[in-house]
Structure formats: C-alpha cells, structure tokens
Structure 1
Amino acid sequence: MGIRNSILLGTLGRYSDRFHTYQPNRSLEERLQISEGIAGAHGVEPVYPQDLGHSGEHVGLVADCKLPVSAVNVNIKGEDMFCRGALTSPDEAVRAKALDYIRTGMDMAAELGSEMISVCPLIDGWDHPFEVNYLEQWDWIVEAMSAAASHRDDIRISIEYKPFEVRNRITLGTMPRTLLLCEEVGAPNLGVTMDTGHALIANESPAAELCLAHHKNRLFYVHFNDNDRQWDWDTLPGAVNVWETLETLYYMRRLDWSGWAAYDVFTRKGDPAEALTATFEIMDLFEALIDKVGMDDLGAMIAKGEPGPAFLTLMRAIAR
C-alpha cells in the first residue's frame, strides 16, 4: 500500500508565535474543504477538543469529509488548566481531566473509523532545577498511560515526543525515554510518533530512531518536516537535512512500513495548501531518487560503511 499522507488540520489554520499571528482563522469546514482539494493527500488529522468539540459536536463534519481520519490529535497542552502540566500536573483533578481527554479522543477516533489517536504531552516536564519531583512525574505519566491504554484495545495511542517547547525539558523528550514508558506500561496499543523535526532538535538521527521504535514494535506514526537542529522550524521536508530525510524514507521502505505519515509544515505568509502540495511532491521526488539509485545499491553502500562512495553514488544519481 505504501505510505499514506495525512494533513494535520492545524497547519491550515491560524497560529501564533511569541511575536505574531499568521494565517486567517479558517473554520473546520473550510480546512476540510481545502484538504480535499490537495493532491497527494490521503487523510486528515483533526484535534480534540479544538476541532471536534468537547462533546463531539463537530464529529459529523469530519465524518462527512471525503478523506479518512488518520488519527485524532488529543490536545492536552493548550488550555489554561494545563499550564502547570497535564498528565504530570501536581493537581490530581487536572491529571484526571487530561486522562479523560485521551479516553474521549479514543472514543471519537473509533466513531470516525480511525484506529489511532496522537498525543504530544509538551506541557509535561520542567523548566528549572528543583522545580518538580521527577519521581512523582514519571509515576504519574506511567499511571495515566496505563489507564488510557486499557480504556479500549481497538485504538492505538501514539505518543509524539519532543525535547523542549512548551517546557524547557519535556518528560517524554527523546525516543529512548518514550520507549521506556511504553515498555513499563507494556500495553501493545501504546507506541510512538517519530517526528523528524523533533528527532533533529533532540540531536537524534531520525532513521535510527525509526528503526529503534520498529524494533520494539512501537512505531505507530511518522511526521515529516525540517529544521536546523536548534529549533522546531516546521519547514518543508529536506529544506535543510536532505540526507537525513532520504535516509528515513529508505529505512521506511526497508522495514516495509506502510502506516500513516503526517506533515508538520507551517507557512507564515504563503498559501498553506500550496505548501502541502509542494511537500507531497518533494516526498515523491525523494522516493524517485531512491528508485533511481536502487534499494539494493543503497543497501550495498551501507554494508561497505564508507560514506565517501555512498554520497558520490547519490550525487551522481541526482546529477543524471
């Protein structure tokens, strides 16, 4: 079947940084219509509760979309009650509310015919030494994910890790820490989203982390974008790290991985639909380059362990 491309509906709407706000505040209906018209899109990822509504009042709009739902993105970081943490909040009532969001998101995913939710617990962590109790935080997040995974076994929970932002240090900030959590919980429906941009700013090699998650049967979702390894730019895949992007796609093929890929690609002044159309074409060109060199030849290059001839082979393929 190959990789299926999903559109994060948030990339088509309004967003802000510390200084400015970008893009019009497009309605859910508008963003769904735009998604349907983007060549190369196979699915969409709505956000609970911001898109779907706390009580699911907008589930019908998403269900009527011509594109299926890859996952429901459960947002447990954006509301005021989560400012001191969600799954690791010192307030037990807030931790319970965050868990309730995840369970509700799982139910809505099932209603929409999806098999997965995505959750990125960016507010769970710390900013300074002696600010939090690390022992309690870890116990709380293990307890929460255990309870979430047991809510229903027909929906997978994919954790999107990130080293920093919103917190200076995030509890689930790297692939190994996230896999450790999954192994401690032990539930087969708990896994990891390997976001290339987040792996890069964690000073990881995206392809290596992809393989590690696959080795533990925890690779549920892949996100593509790019940055300079210092900050999460969310720019076009391959705009900076060409070889890392190509290597990630090579290993996705080598692992015969055919799940969903989504794209955290944000544009400030341009047309976000054009940016996503360009993104999908870029990914097709990367795939074409792999075809041009050949999986066997790439594998032979890796077996030799000599980077010079490997890059020369790739450059010759690009130049031809």
Structure 2
Amino acid sequence: MNNKYAIILGNLGNTRDRFCQGYKNNPSSEEMLKMALEKMPHIQGIELVGSWDIRPDNVGDMKKRLDDAGVACASIIPDTFGNPVYGKGSITSIDAGVRQQALDYLRQMSEVALAMNCDIINLWLGQDGYDYLLATDYNQERDWLTECTRAVATEFPTLRFALEYKPKEPRNFSYHARMADTILAAKETGCSNVGVTIDTGHSFYAGENVSEAVVLAKRAGDLLYHMHFNDNHGSWDDDMIVSSVHFTTYVELMFWLRKTGYQGWISMDQYPYREDAIDAISESILWVKKYEQIVDTYYDEIEALIRENDAVKTSRFLRKLFA
C-alpha cells in the first residue's frame, strides 16, 4: 500500500464548540502550517479551508509556502458552513440572492484550487438541510442542490468535486447524509467529475459500515474521491484520535481501500479540543499507517477469511494481531 497522507490545516488551531469559544489559543494559518511541516510525520498534503486559510489575496503566498516545503494542496474546503449568511442553506437557500452568492463563492474557490494546482474541491455543505417538519420543500431544494453543483462542476471540468456526507449537524437533517443518497446526488448532476468524500466518523454515526460504503462508491463508478479519518463513539461527530474506539473496523477499511484500488488522499480530520493538536493528529497518522502495515502483511489471509465467512476464524486472526 502506498497511501498519501494529509491533514486539514485548521485542525491544528480551531478549538471552539457551542459551549466554549476556544479551549486554546488559535494560531494563524501560517503558524499552523509551520507547526505541521516541522513537527508532524509523513505529511505529504495539506487541506485548506476557504476564507479561513486560503483566499484570492493570499493564494500566491500559500502556494509558495507549500511548494517550498514540498507538500501538495490536497483539497480546498469552501466555507459554506461558518458564514451566517448561509445559516439556512447555501446553494439550497430559498433566497435566490444567497444561492447566487454561494455559487459565486464556489466559483471563486474553484479558481483558487486551480491556482494552487489542487484538483479536489471538498464540498461539505453543512448548512444545506433542514431542521423542522412542514417547513421545507425537499424536492425543490434538492433541485437547487443538483443545479448548483452541476453548474460549478461543468464550469471547472478539470476539478473533482467531492461531496462529503454527514447525517446531521449543524442542521438536524443533511441533504448529503449517507453514502447511498450522496451517490444519488452525484449521479443526478450528470457530471463525471462529481463524487464523494467519506469521513469515517460521519459514516460511523450514520450507522454505516464504512467498508461497505467504500464498496458502494466503487460500484457506482469509482466515485470515492477523498477520505477523512477520525474516530467517535458512534453517536456524534466527536472527531477523536483514530483507533480510540474502533479497531476491527479500521483493519477492514484499509483492506477494502486497497481491494477497490483507492488512490486518493488519506487525510486526518479531527478536533483535539483539549489535547495537544500536533501529538493527537500525529497519533492518528501513525495508527492508520499501522493498519496499512497490517493489511500489507496479511492481505491474502484477510481475503481468505472473508471468503470463508467464518466469524470464529476471523476472531482468532484479529486476536493474533495483539500477540
């Protein structure tokens, strides 16, 4: 296995939640980038959040910093979720002016991606969904979702638009909620450059088997464009250190990523509110590399166990890994 590892830059500094306005000081993007490049192992890419880390006015500076360090811009994540203008939807807002503003912003971030030699726009449309019943025209808003995604994907055919799904938060219901409906959303655009991002934690608390989600994306036409790794207890998007909770899940996930020929980034996405960010995110990278090593070593044995469909034999194999 020869995976490419990346981090989301803002994870090194943003420690707000709805109770505390910051558990630690929030460094500048430039300071976080310096920390990541100097102190974190195995980093080959950096994901930049639009408006937080990257804007038209600092593209040249950020590109030079990454180029000088020999790391790639793994993705651009447009901020359609933190701006209060989009509080009731970005490209699905019932306000045509807001929809237009959101679409123009996505175009701007796409231009930024081209300038950064980055081919992935990671679309986490966190505000595009709904909260209350009898208050939403689901059909109309999904039409807007499709039309706007199609528009930007058509205008920027050399970029890949990866739809990141999550069942809820900040809205009670998200339009991109699980793998199956996100595949549908991608397919409805009719664009060959629209696919999916799996965030492991989002998949866990969506009630999915994340390995099956990988297979679904493969069967839909190699639609898995990007991966975010973290962990949680299954009831919320806790964004914890990889392997804090799950073990077998990650062994299986790394097997199926190899089995399906995934070639994209393995990117860490977690919020170490109270932990040292460098240490916590580095732990995640080292855990994923450990799972990569396990799969490389035991690939044929794992494949045989899957064919046998014998849960006891599989249990014995997993216990052997701790010997």
TM range (shorter): over 0.9
Structure 1 stretches of 4+ with a deviation exceeding 4 A read none
Q: Is the 8 A contact 1:84 1:123 kept in 2?
A: yes
Q: What corresponds to 1:4 in structure 2?
A: 4
Q: What corresponds to 2:46 in structure 1?
A: 44
Question: Deviation digits for residues 195-239 of structure 1, max 9, x if unmatched?
Answer: 110001100011100111122221100111011110011001111
**Percent identity over the alignment?**
29
Q: What corresponds to 1:234 in structure 2?
A: 239
Q: Give the C-alpha shift of residue 281 in structure 1.
A: 1.1
Q: Give the C-alpha shift of residue 269 in structure 1.
A: 2.3
**Rounded Cα–Cα distance in structure 2 between residues aligned with 1:11 and 1:45:** 10
SS class of match (1:262): strand
Question: Deviation digits for residues 137-161 of structure 1, max 9, x if unmatched?
Answer: 1111011111011111111111101
Tell me, yes or no, if structure 1 residue 128 matches structure 2 residue 132.
yes
Q: Which amino acid in the other structure matches residue 270 of structure 1?
A: E
SS class of match (2:322): helix
Match of residue 72, structure 1, among 71, 76, 100 = 76
Tell me, yes or no, if structure 1 residue 199 matches structure 2 residue 203.
yes
Q: Is the 8 A contact 2:305 2:314 kept in 1?
A: yes
Match of residue 256, structure 1, among 246, 261, 269 = 261
Q: Give the C-alpha shift of residue 15 in structure 1.
A: 2.8
Q: Which amino acid in the other structure matches residue 23 of structure 2?
A: Y
Q: For structure 1, which runs of at least 5 residues remain unmatched after alignment?
A: none
Report the TM-score when normalising by structure 1. Answer: 0.96
SS class of match (1:173): coil
Q: Give the C-alpha shift of residue 8 in structure 1.
A: 0.1
Question: What is the 5 A alignment of 1:140-219?
Answer: 140-216=144-220, 217-219=222-224
Q: Give the C-alpha shift of residue 39 in structure 1.
A: 1.0
Q: What corresponds to 2:230 in structure 1?
A: 225
Q: Is the 8 A contact 2:15 2:272 kept in 1?
A: no
Q: Which amino acid in the other structure matches residue 217 of structure 2?
A: A
**Rounded Cα–Cα distance in structure 2 between residues aligned with 1:143 and 1:290:** 41
**Rounded Cα–Cα distance in structure 2 between residues aligned with 1:158 and 1:235:** 23
**Rounded Cα–Cα distance in structure 2 between residues aligned with 1:307 and 1:61:** 54
**Rounded Cα–Cα distance in structure 2 between residues aligned with 1:238 and 1:270:** 16
Q: What corresponds to 1:27 in structure 2?
A: 28
Q: Is the 8 A contact 1:4 1:260 kept in 2?
A: yes
Question: What is the 5 A alignment of 1:52-67?
Answer: 52-53=54-55, 56-64=56-64, 65=66, 66=69, 67=71
Q: What corresponds to 1:267 in structure 2?
A: 272
Tell me, yes or no, if structure 1 residue 287 matches structure 2 residue 289.
no
**Rounded Cα–Cα distance in structure 2 between residues aligned with 1:311 and 1:62:** 48
Q: What corresponds to 1:243 in structure 2?
A: 248
